[in-house]
Structure 1
Amino acid sequence: METNTYIESGILELYVYGLLNETENKEVNQMAKNNKEINDEIIAIEKAIINLSTSFSPFLSADNFEKIKSKLEIKHGKVIDIKPKNNWLTYTGWAAAILLLAGVGYQYNQMNETNTQIVTISGEKSKLQEAVVNLELKNKQSESTLAVIRDNKNTVVNLAGQTVDPNASAKVYWNKETQVVYIDAAGLPEPPEGMVYQVWALKLNPLTPTSIGLLENFTADAQKVFEVSKTGDAEAFGITLEPTGGSLTPTMGQLYTLGKV
């Protein structure tokens, strides 16, 4: 960034007012060390603020004035009062001073408004960046889901609804070579509080269920596609509703879906 552009950006005023964060303060300090124009501009801003504050300093009170006057009379004799001349030059000077003060006040208010706008824009920028990051994460999740579904090496097992909920459904995407298993649980209802869906790989003769995972964070997962533990010899898959943490054996009265390979 060019020096003039950097100076006109308003960041130096924010630096002098102490409105920058630690990282931005370090950046301005480094710029001031490396660039004399920027350092001079910071000094000029500080002087302007000091002059402005000085112009509002309190006047000498009447009591203090009388005390000083009495001491001077004792030491040096009577102090002669000098009355100012009421001429047009005096009024013109006061008018000019008032106009100058009003102009400084206006510029100060404008600068405050600009600083507020800068802070607001910075906050909106941070929110936008956060939204972009979240969107990128969702896109990656969607791409991963599509890759699973479109893998030609997957065996797709449809799980039909059972007595507890005939309308329930789910799909298993099982790569027998890698033994990786994904569950598409979009057809399952939201589990009640304190309950979780548990996936079982089944051997049918004799019936032997093996837990291969829980569908945790079900409500928060918009895709409803979950990777569970690998399995290599399943003959069927089932999903039951179990207490949080899962069960050692499936609760058959809460069997929601079932399907053979």
Structure 2
Amino acid sequence: MKGLIQQYPELAAAVTEFERALESAGTWSHTPAPSTVRDDFLHAIKNTSPLQQTTITSPKSANSRKFMRIAAALLLLLGISGICNILLFRKYEGVTREYYSLLGKTQELRAGKQQAENNINTIRQDMGIVSARAIKKIILSGVPGKEDHQVTIYWDTTSHKVYLFQEKLPDAPAGKQYQLWAITEGNPVDAGLLDNCHGLCKMKDIGKAQAFAITLEHTGGNITPSTDQLYVMGKVPI
């Protein structure tokens, strides 16, 4: 009975009315309740039907839910866009690093190729010089105490050009420089200073010479050779 009263408000109202009628009639005197009260109570039970629960959706609540769905979709798209941008940026960085790495390697290869071509051209020129018919090859060997030193002179007796190939000669100490001398009729003639050249080094032109020699002098050279600093010497072949 309590369950029915809680479920149906009309039934609860009828019960309350019935209780009030009983109180007004004086239940302790055992006076029978009016027939109208009983009829009303039975009528309420007979005509009472379960109430259908109705959910009322206000326009404001519907708009709010629609807005939330749109906002959620936009946030999802924004998140996906951010992730895509991060991935694309990382890929761009990787491609950029690869590009500059390949560019650097290409430049190195080009520089190496150019250097190799220059070296080949230099060797061809040197070969052309030393193989000329007018060239005389003079071997300058180390003097006593310096036997492991050696220099080769290529002297063009027609053009008077002199070329030096430094084979076995130690680097000059600081403040010092090697100087080539041509011995002409017993007199030394300055034939030039050795710079940091590689391969065939062009020296001063010499018209006549019976021998060549190299001494170690102060930087800038000397007008006469320091005989105590003689390193190599060789005679011109007849």
- TM-score band by shorter chain is 0.5 to 0.7
Cα gap change, 1:160 to 1:115, in 2 (>3 Å): closer
Equivalent position to 1:85, from 36, 59, 65: 65
* 1:116 correspondence with 2:104: no
* 1:254 correspondence with 2:224: no
Equivalent position to 1:200, from 181, 201, 226: 181
Query: 2: CA distance between counterparts of 1:203 and 1:108?
Result: 76
Asked whether the equivalents of residues 164 and 253 of structure 1 are also in contact (C-alpha less than 8 Å), the reply is no
Cα gap change, 1:170 to 1:88, in 2 (>3 Å): same
Equivalent position to 1:184, from 161, 165, 168: 165
**Unmatched runs of 5 consecutive residues or more in structure 2:** 1-59
What secondary structure is seen at the aligned counterpart in 2 of 1:230?
coil
Query: 2: CA distance between counterparts of 1:191 and 1:197?
Result: 7
Equivalent position to 1:235, from 210, 216, 227: 210
Q: How many angstroms does 1:157 deviate by?
A: 1.6
What secondary structure is seen at the aligned counterpart in 1 of 2:133?
coil
What secondary structure is seen at the aligned counterpart in 1 of 2:115?
helix
Normalising by structure 1, we get a TM-score of: 0.60
Asked whether the equivalents of residues 159 and 171 of structure 1 are also in contact (C-alpha less than 8 Å), the reply is yes
Cα gap change, 1:83 to 1:231, in 2 (>3 Å): same
Query: 1: CA distance between counterparts of 2:61 and 2:178?
Result: 97
Cα gap change, 1:97 to 1:187, in 2 (>3 Å): closer
Q: How many angstroms does 1:93 deviate by?
A: 4.0
Runs of 4+ in structure 1 deviating by more than 6 angstroms, as ranges, are 80-83
Cα gap change, 1:90 to 1:186, in 2 (>3 Å): same
Query: 1: CA distance between counterparts of 2:63 and 2:145?
Result: 103
Q: How many angstroms does 1:90 deviate by?
A: 4.8
Normalising by structure 2, we get a TM-score of: 0.65
Alignment: residue pair count = 176
What secondary structure is seen at the aligned counterpart in 2 of 1:166?
coil
Q: Which residue of 1 aligns with 2:3?
A: none
Asked whether the equivalents of residues 158 and 259 of structure 1 are also in contact (C-alpha less than 8 Å), the reply is yes
Q: Which residue of 2 aligns with 1:210?
A: 189
Asked whether the equivalents of residues 164 and 254 of structure 1 are also in contact (C-alpha less than 8 Å), the reply is no
Q: How many angstroms does 1:89 deviate by?
A: 5.6
